[in-house]
Chains A and B, each alone.
Chain A
Amino acid sequence: AQTVTQSQPEMSVQEAETVTLSCTYDTSESDYYLFWYKQPPSRQMILVIRQEAYKQQNATENRFSVNFQKAAKSFSLKISDSQLGDAAMYFCAYRRGYSGAGSYQLTFGKGTKLSVIP
């Protein structure tokens, strides 16, 4: 079974600084997707960024970028120029890439609570 581990229960960053959230996963599959979701106090789950395992290029979305290390099974999220609105729980998630039973299930990590200090 796939597992997703976020080893940092809490992180903090000064406003305008850069922070990196860690995520590792365990899988025997070669084709899969990885995601970072943000959950602010409103509890809405918001997609931040996604990465296809077959793509070597790291995904970026404005101030958010990932460092995808497939061999190490690592998928970290970097937030640049942190803003107060970035304060939230961040969840790393995994999904298998091919069709079949269970292939569309997202497996989530436990989350990292990010605080942004003004």
Chain B
Amino acid sequence: DAGVIQSPRHEVTEMGQEVTLRCKPISGHDYLFWYRQTMMRGLELLIYFNNNVPIDDSGMPEDRFSAKMPNASFSTLKIQPSEPRDSAVYFCASSRTSGEGTDTQYFGPGTRLTVL
């Protein structure tokens, strides 16, 4: 099976621009997570979905951040407008609640975002 797929792998943008990060979870997984990794704060959970429904978005830093999951195989994380302090690596992860590997989160390769 293919792992979690994220695009783009790298994104460089200017302050004030809209940024959209994309994620395709592992087929059959019913949970999807968005994390952010920075040197200062480490790995932080931003939001997670269960069966395409957002369950906990308390980690979303500001209203500039939004996430959607229109179907079981696709999710987006949008930042509008972007700011230099949003520069980080953004990870998507997915997990399943039954079957092999239950409760283990599998991560995508990450998107390195640089906001100039």
Contact = CB atoms under 8 A, between A and B. Distances in A.
Query: Do chains A and B interact in one complex?
Result: yes
A1 interface: no
Contact of B104 (A43, A44, A47, A110): A47
Contacts of A106: 33, 43, 45, 105
Interface in B33-51: 33, 42-43, 45, 48, 50
Interface residues on B, range: 20 to 34
B42 A43 contact: no
A71 interface: no
A44 B43 contact: no
Given A35-B104, A104-B48, A105-B48, A43 B43 contact: no
B56 A105 contact: yes
Which of A37, A46, A108, A111 is packed against the most chain B CB atoms within 10 Å?
Answer: A108
Contacts of B89: 43
B110 interface: yes
A42 interface: yes
B109 interface: yes
Interface of B is mostly: strand
B110 A44 contact: yes
Nearest to B31: A104
Nearest to B95: A104
Which of A43, A45, A47 is packed against the most chain B CB atoms within 10 Å?
Answer: A45
Contacts of A109: 42
B48 to A, nearest CB: 6
A33 interface: yes
Contacts of A35: 104
B41 to A, nearest CB: 10
B106 interface: yes
Contacts of B50: 104
Interface of A: 33, 35, 37, 42-47, 50, 91, 95, 101-102, 104-106, 108-111
